[in-house]
Amino acid sequence: MAGPTTGKGKKAKGNNYEREIIKYWQSFGIDCSRNALTGQTLDQGDVLGVPDWTVQCKAYSNVATGIAQGVDGSLVQQTTNGTEWTVAIVKRPRRNVIDSYCVMPLHLFTKLLLKQLGLTAAIKRLAVRNIELEQIVLAYKAKEE
């Protein structure tokens, strides 16, 4: 049987974590499902069915690594999906799923906050600044190829 430190064990741990998040959200009536990546050439995130969001889940023993890889991956997936928002949900070791960290880049959180506050002029200024971010994501994707 695969242990949690083997490749299969780590994959199973991640899959189980994704299922926990989906079960938690479904308990609130959110109609979402796990993305099993079957037949896909581009990763679109781990949770499907959350309108205008790309969701990346990480269950690493090293939370800092999970945050870094989760956010970086979610930004690439967000570009693939064309969604407005992206979040990396990172498991905290030995904690319940509801204690997970939800992490996004500051520019996206600022946009979300401004949108909630109804400050559309500020959102437009923020969009101009995000051109650099798009260039970074494209460079990251080119490096992966």
pLDDT, tens digit, 9 for 90 and up, residues 14-50: 789 999 999 999 999 999 999 876 556 677 889 999 9
Instruction: Pick one of 3.40.50, 3.30.1490, 1.10.3470, 3.40.1350 as the CATH number of 1-104.
Output: 3.40.1350
Beta-strand (E) ranges in 73-120?
Answer: 85-90, 101-103
Measured distance CA(99)–CA(16) in Å, rounded: 16
Residue ranges of the chain that CATH labels 3.40.1350: 1-104
Measuring CA to CA, which residue among 118, 58, 114, 50 is closest to residue 85?
50
Q: How confident is the model at residue 115 (pLDDT cuts 50, 70, 90)?
A: confident
Cβ proximity of 82 and 36 under 8 Å: no
pTM: 0.75
